Amino acid sequence: MANKPIANWIIALLAAVGICGGAQALDTQQLDRKQKVMSGGEHLPVFGESLFKGAFKDQPFRGFNGGYRVAVGDQIALQLWGAYSFNAVLTVDAQGNIFVPEVGPVHVAGVENGELNTFVLRHVKRVFKSNVQAYANLEASQPVKVFVTGFVAKPGLYPGFSSDSVLYYLDSAGGISRHSGSYIDIKVLRRGKELQRINLYQFLVEGQMPALQLRNGDSIVVGPRQGFVSIDGAVQESGQVEFVGPSTHLGEMLLVTKPDPQANFARITQIIDNEQQASYLPLTEALRTTLHPGAHVELVSESDVASISVRVTGEVDGPAAHVLPYGATLQDLLDKLRYRDNADPFSLQLYRKSVAKKQKVALDRSLDALEMEALTRQPTTTADQASIKDTASMIQNFIAKARSAQPRGQVVLANNADAGKMLLEDGDALVVPLRASTVSVVGEVVFPTSLVFNERHTLEDYIELAGGFSNNANTDELVVLHLDGTISRIKSRKFNNRLKGVLRPGDEIMIMPEIRASELQVTKDVTEILYRIAVGTAAVLSF
C-alpha cells in the first residue's frame, strides 16, 4: 500500500481502547535465524486470497448502473403504447442504432443508462407528437471476451459480459497466484494502453471497486507480487500483507488487518542489513516502526508481561508449573529442574501452543488443496468418470478423518547447540521422558505393539514380531519417530540392516498405509499429508 498520513489516527484509535505506552524492547533469539524470519508467516494466508473461491465467476452480473453507456450488442426492451403499440427486445446494431417502427434508426450507442428512456422517448415524440408513450430499458449487456494474464493461476481468454467486474474475470482465471501475484498492482489495458489501475485492498477494506465497462479484447494484467509483511496474533484478520516501496510502517499495515481492541504489544522479527533483528514493543511505539519485506509481526494482548508460566511433567521432582520472568530461556528453566534417576534429559520434549496452531493451519491448507484437486478433476473418458468418482469419495472420507487430527506442536530441541538460548512462551509444556527400553511398532502391522529394544534387531525383525505388514501397508518406506522429536524416513532396502545409532530405545516405528489412487498427484498429496499427520500427532491415520 502507498504511504498515507495514518499514524496519528491509529495511535488515537489505540489510545481510545486503553493501550498504554512505556518503552520496553526485549531482544529475542530463535533456534534457526533464517527459518524464523523467512518462514515465520508462510503458514498465513495471503490477504485477499479468499476472494477467489468461485463466488464471482459463478455469479455473472448482467445488471447496469446509471452511468453504464450503451454499447454495440446490448439489448434494449422497448414498449410503445397509446395510438400506436409496439413491444420487442431490440439489439444495438454494428452502427450503434436500434430500429424503432415508424420512427426509424435511433443512435443509442454511448447513451448513459440513466438517460436511455428519456433519450428514446424524445426521438419517438419527433414522429408521434401526442398519444404515444415509450419506455426503453436495457435488457442485457454485450457479451465480450477479455484476456486475463500476468500472475494468475490460468491465463487465458474468458467470456463474460461488458458489465461484469474485474473480479469476475480474475476468478474465472483461477485467481491471483498465491506466491507470485500482486493484489495491489492490477492493470486493465485497452489496445495496449492503461485504462485503469486497481488495488484490491481498496475493495477488501473499503468496498471500493471501479465501475468499468469492459470491451472485446480488453486485457486484465496482474503484476508481480510486491514486498509483504506477515501479521498475526491479536488482529481481526491474519495474513501476508503487500505494500509498495522498499519499506512500510506497521501502522499502515494495521489499516488492512485491523488490530483487536485488546492488542497492546507487538513482537517484530525481520532482517535488516543481513542481520536478524527482533524486538518486543508497546503497540503505540511499534506503529512507527519501519518494516522491511519479509518481516513477521505478532500482535499480543497482555495485561502483564512481567512473567510467564511453563508446565513441566515427567521424570522431575519439584513443582509442575514454573513462573519465570518474561524473556526467560529454556536454559533458565533447565537450571531449576531436578531430574530423577531414570530421567532421559537428552530427549527433552517441548510442546508449544503457537506451533500446534501453525501445524493445524498448514494441515488444513493441505487438505483444502487436496479437496479442491479431487473435486475439480475432469474425466477424459467414460471409464475415467467412474474412477474419478470413486477416488473423490475415498478422498472425502480421508479428509473428514484428517481434519480431526490435532498436532502436538512439538519444538524439536535435539541436535542444536543453541537450544538453551531459545525464548520460552507462556503456556509452554516441557516433558522429561523416562529413560526408554522399548520400541513401539504402530500403524499398518497385524499386531501393533511395544517390544523390548534389542540393538541386534533390524526393522524387519521388529515388523515380524508385530505380526508382519498388514494388507494395506506401504512396504516401500516407513517412518521412525524418535523420542526427542526427530524423525527418520527409512527405505525398504535398509529394513534388514542393523541401524546402529538410527534405531534407539523409545522410538516409534510407524508403518504407513499404501495409497491406491489412480491419479499420481493425488497419491503424492495424500502421502505427504499422512506423513505430516504422523509426525505432528505421533499417530498413523488410515486411508
Residues 237, 199, single domain; the answer is no
The tens digit of pLDDT for each residue in 492-502 reads 888 888 777 78
User: Is the pLDDT reported for residue 451 higher than 90?
Assistant: yes
* 458 shares a domain with 373: no
The answer to whether the CB of 405 falls within 8 A of the CB of 478 is no
Residue 304 — very low, low, confident or very high, per pLDDT cuts 50/70/90? very low
Say whether pLDDT at 18 is over 60: no
423 and 442 in a common domain: no
522 in a structural domain: no
Tell me what percent of the residues of the chain surpass a pLDDT of 70: 85
| Nearest by Cα to 364 from 400, 411, 412, 409 | 400
pLDDT > 90: what percent of the chain?
27
Q: Is residue 19 part of a domain?
A: yes
**How do residues 252-299 score in pLDDT, each as one tens digit?**
899 888 898 888 888 888 888 877 677 778 888 889 889 999 899 988
Q: What is the pLDDT of residues 174-218, one digit of tens each?
A: 999 988 999 999 999 988 899 889 999 988 888 888 777 788 899
Question: All 3 cell numbers of residue 271?
Answer: 532482517
**Residue 19 pLDDT greater than 50, yes or no:** no
Are the beta carbons of 508 and 459 closer than 8 angstroms?
no
pLDDT attached to residue 32: 40
Mean pLDDT in residue range 225-238: 89
Q: Is residue 1 part of a domain?
A: no
Note down the domain range covering 472.
Answer: 436-512
Provide the pLDDT confidence category of residue 465 given band limits of 50, 70 and 90.
very high
Using one digit for the tens of pLDDT, what is the confidence trace for 44-70? 888 888 888 877 776 665 555 556 778
The per-residue pLDDT for 17 is 36
Q: How many CA atoms lie less than 13 Å away from 442 in the CB half-sphere?
A: 18
User: Under the phi-then-psi rule, with left for phi > 0, alpha for psi from -120 to 50, and beta for the rest, what region is 110?
Assistant: left
Q: Which DSSP helix (H) or strand (E) runs through 12?
A: helix 7-16
In terms of domains, do 135 and 147 share one? Answer: no
Longest dimension (CA), the chain: 110
Q: Which of 1-10, 305-314, 522-531 has the lowest mean pLDDT?
A: 1-10
Same-domain pairing of 351 and 337: yes
* CATH code, 83: 3.30.1950.10
Per-residue pLDDT tens over the stretch 341-382: 999 998 999 999 899 998 888 888 888 888 887 777 666 666
- 26, pLDDT greater than 60: no
Question: pTM value?
Answer: 0.46
Residues 206, 264: one domain?
no
Q: Give yes or no for a contact between 285 and 21, defined as CB atoms under 8 angstroms apart.
A: yes
**91-125 pLDDT tens trace:** 889 899 999 998 899 999 888 888 888 999 989 88
Tell me which DSSP letter residue 503 carries.
Answer: B
Q: For 407-420, what is each residue's pLDDT tens digit?
A: 989 998 887 888 88
Is 250 within the bounds of a domain? yes
The three cell numbers locating residue 70:
450503451
| Of the candidates 384, 394, 367, 372, the residue with the CA atom closest to the CA atom of residue 517 | 394
| CATH code of the domain containing 13 | 3.10.20
The mean per-residue pLDDT over the stretch 514-525 comes to: 72
400 Cα distance to chain centroid: 20
Q: Does one domain contain both 271 and 350?
A: no
Burial 377-389 (b: 16+ CB within 10 A, else e): eeeeeeeeeeebe
Query: Does the residue 279 lie in any domain?
Result: yes
Judge contact between 200 and 186, C-beta under 8 A: yes
**Among the three residues 224, 259, 288, which one is the final residue of a domain in this structure?**
224
Residues 6+ apart with CB under 8 A from 185: 197, 199, 222, 223, 224, 226, 244
Are 217 and 242 in a shared domain? no
Please report whether residue 524 resides in a domain.
Answer: no
Q: Hunting for cell 531436578 — which residue is that? A: 338
Q: Are residues 314 and 431 in the same domain?
A: yes
Domain assignment present for 536: no
Is residue 483 domain-resident? Answer: yes
* Identity at 31, one-letter amino acid code: L
Does residue 428 share a domain with residue 443?
A: no
422 and 468 together in one domain: no
Nearest-angstrom CA–CA distance, 110 and 91 = 14
Q: What is the pLDDT of residue 468?
A: 93
Half-sphere exposure of 439 (CA within 13 A, CB side): 24
* Residues 150 and 214 placed together within one structural domain of the fold: yes
Residue 214: which of 184, 172, 261, 265 has the closest Cα? 172
Pick the closest to residue 69 from 218, 220, 214 (CA basis). 214
| 154: CATH | 3.10.560.10
Q: Tally the domains of the chain.
A: 5
Average predicted confidence (pLDDT) for the chain: 82
Range with lowest mean pLDDT among 163-172, 175-184, 525-534: 525-534
